Amino acid sequence: MSIQKTIRQVFFLLFTIFTLLVLISCQQSFTQEPINRKTPLFEFAGDYENRMRVQETARQLVANQEDISTDQVTILSTEKQSWTDNCLGLPNANEICSEGKIEGYMIVLNGNDHIYEVHSDTTATSTRLRSVFDTNLSPQEQTVELLAKQLNIATTEILVQSVEPVDWTNSCLDMETNTNCADVIIPGFRIILEAHGQLFEYHTDQVASVIYGGIKEEAIGSDQEPIALNNYLTISMQRTYFNSTMVEQLLVSSDMIMVVSNNEGFEKNGLSLTESEKEQLINWKNSFNDTNFTVRDEKGKWETTVHLYGIGQEDLPEFGQEVLLNFVLELYASQASPDTK
């Protein structure tokens, strides 16, 4: 019995030792520092702080521009961007930009139904703001704005030839693209615009959230002379303000009918000029060639682009630009309501 008892004790001792070894091994596996397998799946804390600072600065800029709280400003997108100069891709008129790579962000925001772009460096030390377009614009107005940006011209230099309601048969709005198009009926518009003697065709959905199009080459054959805008227009003016989103426009047709408007709802069409005003404009148009110039206010409050659709042979002298600028600004002021002057 004593031998059997001894064997049982030895067996129990060995079993206990084995169990302890297993437990110690497991304990080591649980408490051992995990291998550092961190990868940059997310931005570093410093980058995150910089991005949040830039976004908050951008929201504040838009809020100040629209006179609203930052809570009413929505960030639509934030993208890292490498700017090529210290103007961050948004130079002011006549500003000289120093070349050099600057890392930063481009942020698109919505404030008070206006879309803004903010260009910034990585720390929001340097920022630039620009208004893109009003989301309440009609499809026709949005395509005009788009073409004006594409050609770098004033919207007053673009003529709307036609706006046709259409039921498009695919997601590409019946335009040839490099993407796969789903077969689906999408109500929208076919909009034909004219600028600088060329026609442009745009396809949109009902609210112009999707726009396809561009130059309509077949509309003007290679054997045809381009239709010059000076056949239709005499002069156009667009004035933008740096401390607000106000944009004022004036257009005088070749038959001396004037239109004045701004982007805040003011518009007067079919206005007649005085005989002396007509005589002055006809003289300028017949004497000078096609001229386009931009003048910035000495106080830095606004800049104005004037386009004289001249058919003459002479160049408009510099002092003539000042005279012409004052002329069109007085025309606009004579029709503007007191709160739009």
d(CA 319, CA 18): 103
- pLDDT number for residue 277: 94
Rounded CA Rg of the chain:
33
Per-residue tens of pLDDT for the chain, all 341 residues: 555 555 566 556 555 555 555 444 444 433 333 333 333 334 567 777 888 899 999 999 999 888 899 999 988 778 888 988 888 888 876 678 888 899 999 898 888 877 788 999 998 888 988 876 555 677 888 888 878 877 778 888 888 888 888 898 987 788 765 556 778 888 888 888 888 778 888 888 787 666 777 665 444 444 444 445 677 778 988 888 888 888 888 888 888 888 888 877 787 877 889 999 999 999 999 999 989 899 988 888 899 999 898 999 999 998 899 999 999 999 999 988 654 44
Tokens linked to 243: 């401390």
Residue 17's H or E segment, with its range, is helix 2-31
- pLDDT number for residue 134: 53
Amino acid at 307: H
Residue range 197-211, pLDDT digits in tens:
788 888 887 876 667
Residue range 133-185, pLDDT digits in tens:
555 677 888 888 878 877 778 888 888 888 888 898 987 788 765 556 778 88
d(CA 285, CA 196): 17
Q: Where are the alpha helices (DSSP H) in 67-113?
A: none
Q: Are 158 and 144 in contact (CB under 8 A)?
A: yes
Locate the domains of the chain by residue range: 45-134, 139-219, 229-340
Q: Is 257 helix (H, G, I), strand (E, B) or coil?
A: strand
Residues 6+ apart with CB under 8 A from 318: none
Partners of 262 in beta bridges: 248
Tokens linked to 180: 């796969």
* % of the chain with per-residue pLDDT over 90: 18
Tokens linked to 18: 């084995």
What is the full DSSP assignment across 71-91? GGEEEEEEEEEEEEETTTT-P
**Up-side HSE of residue 115: CA atoms within 13 Å toward CB?**
11
Query: Is the whole-model pTM more than 0.85?
Result: no
64 CB neighbour count, 10 Å cutoff: 14
Amino acid at 306: V
CA 231 to centroid of chain Cα atoms: 31
